[in-house]
Structure 1
Amino acid sequence: MTLRLHDTATRETRDFVPLTPGRAGIYVCGLTVQSEPHVGHVRSAVNFDVLRRWLTATGHEVDFIRNVTDIDDKILAKSAEQGVHWYALAAAMKRELDAALASINVLPPTYEPGATGHVPEIVELIEQLVARGHAYAAEDGSGDVYFDVRSWPSYGELTRQRVEDMEPAGDADPRGKRDPRDFALWKGHKSETEPATAAWPSPWGPGRPGWHIECSAMAGKYLGPAFDIHGGGVDLRFPHHENEQAQSRAAGRPFASYWLHNAWITTAGEKMSKSLGNSMLIPSVLERVRGIELRYYIVAAHYRSHVEFSFEALEEAAKAFRRIEDFLDRAGVSAVASEVPAAFAAAMDDDLGTPAAVAVVHDLVRQGNSALSTGDSAAAGIAAQVRAMLGVLGLDPADPAWAGRGSDDRLTEVVDALVRGLLEERTAAREAKDWVRADAIRDRIKAAGVEVEDTPAGPKWSV
């Protein structure tokens, strides 16, 4: 089988052919660390984590770069509102992001560059664009430098727009621009409103990078002038990715061979975002479900499908995942199959078809449960295959990454000890034929919202 990916640039699903056989270079636009991450943010991280895992499982060595925007207009504005240093805010929100991604088992990237650590590379790239006639310093004394969209005939090719139909770029005062669609590569320092720490030296005076140039410079630094896959949320297609592609190719860099974009998680039909006030922050969500269940909820939808978020749907997904866990617990198998089933591989090779892949998992779980009920030894092999598939999806419950995860694992341990104590009392009462006491204990457990299943291996409980 050959992995086929839907390339947003060509709007075609085509075979993935890496530039270097056996290797894959992936660049994903990370977050601007201005505030706490919500469910909509982590969807992109999970989707591209699954891509990375599948490429690794199919024999590729993956160089996975995910950046962090740690200097930006929004960061400066928010830090001023809160009365804290911009870099302190960015660092604190980066820690929140790290914790959120770890809680849902997103693998750390090969490298995670920050914009502030790559100002020399950014300045060098801007200088190349100026020298090639694709960028210019503003004549209004602001110290801004802009990309000249009219100088690049292919501008708009990623999103299939004409320059004339585009909205003006709202990233800087238009007075210094030749065309209102020109976008900022470098922003001159505004000494009267911006802290001195938010400026770096450049040939055009002190200032800081524009948003779009950061990713072009960092992708080039770690993946070279040409690489395989560029990913991010569908909302980044324009202007961010359009501008990235234009400035990179205008500088003589072929840039990305494939563009992949994940869809939104919406609430009430709107993109989940901080500005809309409909954010579902990760710690709050993890008070209701475990991290592995949240990840399952995200993975079960195709990455290009919009998902309407609701706690009802999330809790239904959690129940579905618990059925998988329950089978693995009953099977008691530690082995992992060396290969995934052909149907699962076919689903993943079809543009990361995770809904169909998850359906294969559930089909095998049903077969495994039937085998367990009849004492069929095939259950062990089925469980090993289920674990192999879950590993690709980042959902294997036995993955050490899940150890210590959850809304409160210490609390879980305490509850487990208490429930098991009651179950032992119930077992003793039943052995003594004290049915009244046994039933009373059972009712007490049930009233607490705990369900007990009597199995050949002894009673098991679940919330």
Structure 2
Amino acid sequence: MTLRLYDTRAQQLRDFVPLDPENITMYVCGPTVQSGPHIGHVRGALSFDILRRWLTHRYGRVTFVRNVTDIDDKVIANATDSEPWWALAYRMEQEFTAAYAGIGVLPPTYEPRATASIPQMQELIASLIERGHAYPAPDGSGDVYFDVRSWTDYGALTHQSLDAMEAAEDADPRGKRNPQDFALWKGAKAGEPADATWSSPWGAGRPGWHIECSAMAKRYLGAEFDIHGGGLDLRFPHHENELAQSTAAGDGFANYWVHNGLVTVGGQKMSKSIGNFTLAADVLAEHDPLVVRYALAAAHYRSSLDLVESSWAEAEAAVGRIRTFLERGQRMAAAGWGQHKEGLPAAFTEAMDDDLGVPRALAVIHESIRSGNAHLDAGRIDAARQDVSDVTDMTLVLGINPLAAQWRANGAGAEGSALDALVQEMITQRAQARADKDWAAADRIRDAIAAAGITLEDTPAGTHWSIDG
């Protein structure tokens, strides 16, 4: 089956045909680091982490770029005398990095900061002016605007008519020809930090938000690349403006536009500006990071995700089933395995190739667990081997294998270690009672363990425990 992705610009599923099958190129809009990440930011990063992992599985190599917007009106506004804008940006960048790593998001191939590509932005702006698609403000303020009416394809991404669009509010409108014209370069203003400005042919200032991504994408991936990704809320004006300015400059830019759905609270978008957000650090402090990853991945990436308390409980139970099955399979391997078929199950591959159908893919995983447990219960060790292998491979592709080194490193915490020590001591006592043929004592210990919701499994490799459910 051919991989198909929903292309926002085409407004339909499209077969994915890469420019170079040996190297898939992908740019995703990263954070504006004016404050720490909320769980919606993490969900977006996870969506593209899973897409990247699947593309890597399908093609082998993916060049993945995720930028950091470290110069912006909000970054400057949140700075203080004791923490200048660049220090705030760096500290918040570290918080985003920690949150992403916490749920197993792979680091990007390149993670450029906007402030490191100012010359490339100025070069792109100069090209737009030369082509007649941008103009310096006539008032000498140093502002430079993109002339939306000069580009007949403006609105191609979101399929809006120009006259129906709201005015761009990213710069002072005093020098604009049209209300919808957006800022490519912002002239320095009184009261702003002197070190937040760069010299330019149009006067000292700093780049507009949209030009940053166009310049960085071109610098790291070339004038044309495979996939541009980001949150659904970035379609307009950010991605619309990126598309317009890059294509007006003569670049092919992105061949596929992929957008993830948003995390909502009571049906309303989670947002810092609204104040209805939950910080990622708080969620990760309260829940197992693997459970968080599973909960955020369980809904289709394009759907809205309204997280409630039961979301975490359901994810925890699902992760527990995966962990218990894989640990059980590992133990039974000591009895000897037969051969197994290599490769992912066809149903899993079909689900992932169908616009990254993770919910269906998870259903395949849990069906394989049910099958594998039935085989193990019946002593069909060789048949179970295939299910264990399949579940191992599928969960590794999705980054949710509980036995992978990262999640083992997280461990179950002090509470889990203490529980394991207590249960292991009871298992030892039961084993000694059985060795002494004190069957009544052995049964009492087993009943006490069962009353606590713990199941014992006697195997050729020893006795192991798991929590029911």
**How many Å apart are 1:193 and its aligned residue?**
1.8
**Amino acid in structure 2 at the alignment position of 1:21:** P
Task: State the secondary structure of the residue aligned to 1:21.
Answer: coil
Q: Aligned pair 1:332/2:330, yes or no?
A: yes
| 2:168 equivalent in structure 1 | 169
**How many Å apart are 1:276 and its aligned residue?**
2.3
Q: How far apart, CA to CA, are the structure 1 residues paired with 2:281 and 2:102? A: 9
Matches within 5 A, 1:309-320: 309-320=307-318
**Amino acid in structure 2 at the alignment position of 1:453:** T
Give CA-to-partner distance per residue, 1:408-439, whole Å, 9 cap, x none: 74554344334433554465567654479748
Residues 281, 426 of structure 1: alpha-carbon distance in 2 compared, 3 angstrom cutoff: farther
Q: How far apart, CA to CA, are the structure 2 residues paired with 1:453 and 1:436? A: 13
| 1:264 equivalent in structure 2 | 262
Percent identity, please: 53
Counterpart pick for 1:396 among 401, 409, 415: 401
Matches within 5 A, 1:60-459: 60-80=60-80, 83-190=82-189, 192-332=190-330, 338-377=342-381, 378-405=383-410, 409=413, 412-425=416-429, 428=432, 432=438, 433-434=440-441, 438=445, 442=449, 446=452, 451-457=453-459, 458-459=463-464
Unaligned runs of 5+ in 1: none
Report the RMSD for the aligned CA atoms in angstroms.
2.2
Which segment is superposed worse, 137-146 or 109-118? 137-146
Residues 425, 285 of structure 1: alpha-carbon distance in 2 compared, 3 angstrom cutoff: farther
Q: How far apart, CA to CA, are the structure 1 residues paired with 2:442 and 2:27? A: 63
Give the structure-2-normalised TM-score: 0.92
The answer to whether the 8 Å contact 2:324/2:466 transfers is no
| 1:31 equivalent in structure 2 | 31
Residues 208, 261 of structure 1: alpha-carbon distance in 2 compared, 3 angstrom cutoff: same
| 2:13 equivalent in structure 1 | 13
Q: How far apart, CA to CA, are the structure 2 residues paired with 1:63 and 1:234? A: 22
**Amino acid in structure 2 at the alignment position of 1:24:** I
The answer to whether the 8 Å contact 2:426/2:445 transfers is no
**How many Å apart are 1:37 and its aligned residue?**
1.0
Task: State the secondary structure of the residue aligned to 1:40.
Answer: helix
Q: How far apart, CA to CA, are the structure 2 residues paired with 1:3 and 1:173? A: 44
Residues 337, 31 of structure 1: alpha-carbon distance in 2 compared, 3 angstrom cutoff: farther
Q: How far apart, CA to CA, are the structure 2 residues paired with 1:353 and 1:436? A: 47
Q: How far apart, CA to CA, are the structure 1 residues paired with 2:195 and 2:426? A: 60
Which segment is superposed worse, 270-279 or 385-394? 270-279
Q: How far apart, CA to CA, are the structure 1 residues paired with 2:4 and 2:274? A: 35
Give CA-to-partner distance per residue, 1:63-118, whole Å, 9 cap, x none: 111111111111111113x8411111111111111111111111111101110111
**Amino acid in structure 1 at the alignment position of 2:98:** A
The answer to whether the 8 Å contact 2:319/2:402 transfers is no
Q: How far apart, CA to CA, are the structure 1 residues paired with 2:144 and 2:292? A: 43
Q: How far apart, CA to CA, are the structure 1 residues paired with 2:379 and 2:277? A: 48
Count of equivalent residues: 455
Which segment is superposed worse, 416-425 or 388-397? 416-425
Task: State the secondary structure of the residue aligned to 1:222.
Answer: helix
**How many Å apart are 1:459 and its aligned residue?**
4.3
Task: State the secondary structure of the residue aligned to 2:192.
Answer: coil
Q: How far apart, CA to CA, are the structure 2 residues paired with 1:293 and 1:51? A: 19
**How many Å apart are 1:19 and its aligned residue?**
1.0
The answer to whether the 8 Å contact 1:152/1:246 transfers is yes
**How many Å apart are 1:281 and its aligned residue?**
1.7
